[in-house]
């Protein structure tokens, strides 16, 4: 592979993967709201 392709691919794929993981982890770690939300209403289903 040539260097410029390797750099473009590396930077793009690392950035996209980083943001995907970052936002997904942020979702998992987001504090749950005190009141029941639209998901927990369905917890018993």
Partner 1 sequence: MAKAESSGWGSRVGLILAMAGNAVGLGNFLRFPVQAVENGGGAFIIPYLVCFLLMGIPLLWVEWASGRFGGIRGNHSTPFIFDSMNKKRVWKYIGVFGIFTNIAVASYYCYIESWTMSYVYHSVIGTFDGMSQQQVSDFFSSYTDIGVSTTGIPYEAVVFYLLCLLLNTWILSKGLGGVEKVAKIGVPMLLIFGAFLAIKGLTLGTSGASAEIPDANALDGINFLWTPQFSSLLDLKVWLAAAGQIFFTLSLGMGTIHCYASYLKQKDDIALNSLSAGFTNEFVEVVLGSLIVVPIAAGYLGLDWVINNAGFGMAFQTMPFLFEKWGEFIGTISGVFWFGLLFFAGITSSLAMGTPWMGFMQDEFGWGRKKGAWTFGLIVLILGLPTVFFFKEGVFDEYDYWAGTVSLVVFAMAEIILFAWVFGITKGWDEINAGADVKLPKIYKPILKYVTPTILLIVFLGAFITPKDNDWKKAITEGWVLDNGSVLAKITNSDIVVNKEFYSDHKEYDQASGIVDTIIHDKENKVHILKVQDNIRFYRNEKGVVKEAKKEAILKNIGKNYVFFDSVAVCREYKFKWDNKITVQKGDVLKLGSTIATGEFTNKSLYTSIGRFLLLGLFLFICFLVWRAGRLKEHL
Q: Which residues bind partner 1 (CB under 8 A)?
A: 1-2, 4-6, 8-9, 12-13, 16-17, 19-20, 23-24, 26-28, 30, 33, 35, 37-39, 41-43, 45
What is the DSSP code (8-state) at residue 33?
P
Least distance in angstroms from the C-beta of 5 to partner 1: 4
Rounded CA separation 40/34 (Å): 11
Which distant-in-sequence residues (6+ apart) come within 8 Å of 11 by Cβ?
none
Least distance in angstroms from the C-beta of 7 to partner 1: 9
């Amino acid at each position: 592979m040539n260097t410029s392709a390797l750099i473009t691919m590396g930077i793009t794929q690392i950035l996209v993967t980083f943001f995907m993981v970052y936002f997904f982890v942020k979702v998992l770690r987001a504090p749950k709201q005190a009141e029941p939300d639209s998901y927990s209403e369905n917890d018993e289903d």
